[in-house]
A = this chain, B = another copy of it.
Amino acid sequence: MEQSLLEALEGIFRPRSVALVGVSEREYNLGYRWVKSLLDAGFPIVYPVNPKGGELLGLKVYPTVGDIPGEVDLAILLIPREAVPDVARDCAQKRTKGIVLYTSGFGETGPEGKELERQIVKIARAGGTRVIGPSCLGPYNPSVKLITQYPFPRKAGAVGVISHSGFLFNYLVSCVAATGIGPSKGISCGSDCDLSFVDFLEYLGQDEQTRIIVAYLEGIKDGKRLLSVGRDVSRNKPIVIMKGGDTEVGREASASHTGTLAVPSAIWKTLCRQTGIISVDSFEQMMDTLIALYYLPRPKGRRVAVITAPGGIAVTATDACIKLGLELPRLSEQTRALLANLIGTLGTNLKNPVDLGPMGAMAAENYVKEAMRIVARDENIDMLLVSFIGPRTTDDVKDAKSAEALLAAIKEGGKPTVFSGASLQGWDRGELKFLRQSNVPVYPEARRAAFALSRLAEYSEFARSAQT
């Protein structure tokens, strides 16, 4: 990426010092809480700013940014919009790398707000200062202890997070943390008045700590650049995006939210196809996909083998796969012979889906693991979806042993393998609990497992074609 942009973004994500402008001593004051969060996380240099001066949490409060003796790499502004231009001027003079505008009431309110926004950006950029927002929470980087929001993890993970909505930024970070993979860096970027969604995408694209990017996007300022940056980044790491404003009414709501122009869904679909961006309709789908992308090897194609014990699940899992564009090829003669040898042909189905029948359901740890081994060797198969009858014991030792046998079968097979539970409630019990703990993607329903596999296959196809 362009050198000056990279430098600005490095300053914003790895600031040595942060000024919080608009703090008060009251505990429910936003500034108070942000300062406290930074201090608690161990961020080294924090400057609270308030015209009244005084002290806050043992720190000197400076009347203005100009009064701060040292350098200020990042300034977070929690002040009314009218007060912003003066502070921006101070920041520009100090060669601050970035200003975060938490305040809303700019471009999304009409021409007057838009004009104010333009002035602020002009003032800031005169000193080489870039603006993030308005209506945002700014950057998050646990590696340098840049944590302004209380519940955010302090340990860095591997998922970059970008969001136009500040609230959904919080939400996404908490979802990513809950998967266990954890966020690497994040940015709540608001209304893109200067630095925009695409800048942050490009930055996280080249960030070594970030292996996958998840984002909530509302509007696109520069479609052409998203096309080229998206494509470049996707080549090396998956981007999973939930887009708001997918409908006319949603777009109207979006305009009064971030003030950006939302993109009609037909254009969005084309853009995703061209860039390899993985589009999802919900955060549930996003997390389901994230887990598959993170933990699984890339499949060679979209040919799935469905292995189940009970017949009804075989049918519904198959429906789900086919509807999502996956293929269920017939298994080879040899595979079917081996399966017949394992479990017989009475009450079973050995084509694909493989229904192991009542025997398979009764003793999953024996038959399922062997069936997985046999099927994974079939050349027609790229991925395995195993739908499980769920816990039959309440014995942790037995379950752990059974999970180990299944893990060995996955490892031997070497092909992306996901499991789905057999009960919305019980999917996280028994062997499945232990499989999850061993980082095997386990989903409550076959439909969700199929969705994750379909996105994994789609991304792998893109990544392959982009390499050649």
Binding site for B on A (CB under 8 A): 104-105, 135, 163-168, 171, 174-175, 178, 216, 218, 242, 244-250, 252-254, 256-258, 281-284, 287, 309-316, 318-323, 328, 346-347, 349, 351, 353, 355, 361, 389, 422-426, 444-445, 447
Instruction: Please report the C-alpha to C-alpha distance between residue A313 and residue B257 in the assembled complex, in whole angstroms.
Output: 10
What is the distance, in angstroms, from A239's C-beta to the closest C-beta of chain B? Answer: 18
Of B168, B246, B312, the residue contacting A313 (CB under 8 A) is B168
Q: Which residues of B contact A174 (CB under 8 A)?
A: 423, 425-426
Question: Is the pair A347, B104 in contact by a Cβ cutoff of 8 Å?
Answer: yes
A310 — nearest CB in chain B belongs to which residue?
B167
Q: Which residues of B contact A254 (CB under 8 A)?
A: 315
Question: Is the pair A218, B167 in contact by a Cβ cutoff of 8 Å?
Answer: no
Question: Is the pair A322, B257 in contact by a Cβ cutoff of 8 Å?
Answer: no
Query: With contacts A244-B315, A247-B322, A319-B244 known, is A253 near B445, CB below 8 A?
Result: no
Question: Is the pair B313, A245 in contact by a Cβ cutoff of 8 Å?
Answer: no
Q: Could you show 19 A-B contacts with beta carbons less than 8 Å apart?
A: A165-B311, A165-B313, A166-B312, A167-B310, A167-B313, A171-B423, A218-B312, A218-B315, A242-B316, A249-B322, A250-B319, A253-B351, A254-B315, A257-B314, A258-B311, A283-B424, A283-B445, A284-B424, A287-B424
What is the distance, in angstroms, from A449's C-beta to the closest C-beta of chain B? Answer: 11
Q: Which residues of B contact A104 (CB under 8 A)?
A: 347
Q: Which residues of B contact A135 (CB under 8 A)?
A: 311
What is the distance, in angstroms, from A31's C-beta to the closest C-beta of chain B? Answer: 14
What is the distance, in angstroms, from A439's C-beta to the closest C-beta of chain B? Answer: 18
Which of A253, A355, A426, A447 is the most central at the interface, judged by chain B CB atoms within 10 Å of its CB? A253
Question: Is the pair B165, A312 in contact by a Cβ cutoff of 8 Å?
Answer: yes
Q: Which residues of B contact A424 (CB under 8 A)?
A: 175, 178, 283-284, 287
Question: Is the pair A444, B284 in contact by a Cβ cutoff of 8 Å?
Answer: yes
Query: With contacts A105-B347, A424-B287 known, is A318 near B165, CB below 8 A?
Result: no
Question: Is the pair A425, B166 in contact by a Cβ cutoff of 8 Å?
Answer: no
Q: Which residues of B contact A323 (CB under 8 A)?
A: 246-247
A389 — nearest CB in chain B belongs to which residue?
B167
Q: Which residues of B contact A310 (CB under 8 A)?
A: 165-168
Instruction: Please report the C-alpha to C-alpha distance between residue A300 and residue B353 in the assembled complex, in whole angstroms.
Output: 44
Question: Is the pair B253, A447 in contact by a Cβ cutoff of 8 Å?
Answer: no
Q: Which residues of B contact A216 (CB under 8 A)?
A: 312, 316
Q: Which residues of B contact A316 (CB under 8 A)?
A: 168, 216, 242, 244, 250
A314 — nearest CB in chain B belongs to which residue?
B253
Of B178, B257, B312, the residue contacting A257 (CB under 8 A) is B312
What is the distance, in angstroms, from A165's C-beta to the closest C-beta of chain B? Answer: 3
Closest 7 A/B residue pairs (Cβ): A165-B312, A167-B310, A168-B312, A257-B311, A247-B322, A250-B319, A244-B315
Instruction: Please report the C-alpha to C-alpha distance between residue A191 and residue B342 in the assembled complex, in whole angstroms.
Output: 26
Instruction: Please report the C-alpha to C-alpha distance between residue A88 and residue B25 in the assembled complex, in whole angstroms.
Output: 84
Q: Which residues of B contact A256 (CB under 8 A)?
A: 311, 349, 351, 355
Query: With contacts A250-B319, A319-B245 known, is A312 near B164, CB below 8 A?
Result: yes
Question: Is the pair B167, A249 in contact by a Cβ cutoff of 8 Å?
Answer: no
What is the distance, in angstroms, from A140's C-beta to the closest C-beta of chain B? Answer: 16
What is the distance, in angstroms, from A274's C-beta to the closest C-beta of chain B? Answer: 22
Q: Which residues of B contact A423 (CB under 8 A)?
A: 171, 174-175
Instruction: Please report the C-alpha to C-alpha distance between residue A86 and residue B401 in the assembled complex, in whole angstroms.
Output: 44
Question: Is the pair B283, A315 in contact by a Cβ cutoff of 8 Å?
Answer: no
Question: Is the pair B284, A249 in contact by a Cβ cutoff of 8 Å?
Answer: no
Question: Is the pair B257, A355 in contact by a Cβ cutoff of 8 Å?
Answer: yes
Q: Which residues of B contact A163 (CB under 8 A)?
A: 312
What is the distance, in angstroms, from A308's C-beta to the closest C-beta of chain B? Answer: 9
Instruction: Please report the C-alpha to C-alpha distance between residue A423 and residue B216 in the assembled complex, in whole angstroms.
Output: 14
Question: Is the pair A253, B318 in contact by a Cβ cutoff of 8 Å?
Answer: yes
A287 — nearest CB in chain B belongs to which residue?
B424
Of B167, B249, B425, the residue contacting A175 (CB under 8 A) is B425
Instruction: Please report the C-alpha to C-alpha distance between residue A310 and residue B316 in the assembled complex, in whole angstroms.
Output: 37
Q: Which residues of B contact A253 (CB under 8 A)?
A: 311, 314-315, 318, 349, 351, 353, 355
